[in-house]
Amino acid sequence: MSTLTTRDGVELYYKDWGSGQPIVFSHGWPLNADSWESQMLFLADNGYRVIAHDRRGHGRSSQPWDGNDMDHYADDLAELIEALDLKDAVLLGFSTGGGEVARYIGRHGTRRVAKAGLISAVPPLMLQTEGNPDGVPMDVFDGIRAGSIANRSQLYQDIASGPFFGFNRPGAVVSQGLIDAFWMQGMLAGHKNTYDCIAAFSATDFTDDLKKFDVPTLVVHGDDDQIVPIGTAGQASARLVADAQLLVYPGAPHGLTDTHKDRLNADLLAFIQG
C-alpha cells in the first residue's frame, strides 16, 4: 500500500498507476479513490500516470478528529503532489473533490498544474445565502447531517439507490452493484469525518479560488444532477473560470463518472490531449 504521512500526522493512502504525464484525481463524498477507477484504468491504458488518494478521514486513510475542511484537504493534496514531485499535472475533481481542486489552486497556485477539470463539482458555492439565492437551502444539508447521525448506513443506501445515479427517475435501469460500491466506500470512511465534510462541501465559498484559475479548465455537469444542481455549480463555475470549457450531459445524474463513463473518458482524453 502506498501512503504518505502529512505534516500534521495524517496517513493518506493513494494509488499510483501507469507512467507518463500525471493525472491526479480527487474524489467525492463519502467515497474514496476507488470511485475513479473507470477513468484511471482508461487513462493509464492511454499512456498516462494516474494518481488518486483517499481524502483524510475517507477510505484507507486515517481518521483525524480535526481538520476535516477544505483548507486541510487542499493542503493534503499539495503535500501529495510535492512528495511525488509531479509536474505538468492534470487535476480532476469530482463533486467535493472539485472543491478540493479549486481550493488547491486558490492556496497553492498552478506551478505544478497544466490543466484542471471540475466534474459534477460543488464550486462555486452550494449553500443558499443572501448573496447566492439560487443555492441549496440549509435545511437540505441539515437533513443529510440528521440522516448521518440517525443511520448513516441507510443514508448512503438511500442516496445511492435514489438521486446520486438517477435511479429514482422513471425508466432508470438500476445497478445494485453501483449502489453497493457507493455504500461500501461510504462505510469505510470515518463517521466524524464524513459528518464534518458535509459542511465543507456545502458551505465553502470557492468563488475567489476559481478566479485564480489560469490553466485550461474543463467543466462537466449533468443537467439532471439532483445532488449538485448544474445552475448552482457547473454553469456558475464556468462563468467564473476564464475561458473554461463547459460540457453539459443531457439527462445525466450526479454520478456520471459511472453512468456516463464512456463519454466522460473520451471527453477527458480529448481535453488532456488537446
pLDDT at 157 over 90: yes
Query: Which of 75, 209, 225, 267 does the annotation list as catalytic?
Result: 225
pLDDT per position as a tens digit, 12-30:
999 999 999 999 999 999 9
pLDDT at 154 over 90: yes
Q: What are phi and psi of 90, to 5 degrees?
A: -100, 120
pLDDT at 183 over 90: yes
Reading the block at residue 169, the C-alpha cell is 427517475
Active site residue 225: yes
pLDDT at 94 over 90: yes
pTM: 0.97
* Distance between CA atoms of residues 99 and 201, nearest Å: 7
Amino acid 45: pLDDT? 98
pLDDT at 1 over 90: no
160: DSSP letter? I
pLDDT per position as a tens digit, 233-272:
999 999 999 999 999 999 999 999 999 999 999 999 999 9
In 6-112, at which residue ranges do the beta strands (DSSP E only) sit? 11-17, 22-26, 49-53, 89-94
Query: Which of 35, 61, 95, 237 does the annotation list as catalytic?
Result: 95
pLDDT per position as a tens digit, 103-138:
999 999 999 999 999 999 999 999 999 999 999 999
Q: Give the containing element (helix H, strand E) for 56.
A: none
**Could you give all domains of the chain from N- to C-terminal order, each with its CATH number?**
2-273 (3.40.50.1820)
Query: Which of 221, 237, 254, 267 does the annotation list as catalytic?
Result: 254
- Look at the alpha carbons of 256, 261, 267, 272 in this order and tell me if their dihedral is positive or negative: positive
pLDDT at 142 over 90: yes
Cis peptide before 170 (omega within 30 of 0): no
Active site residue 38: no
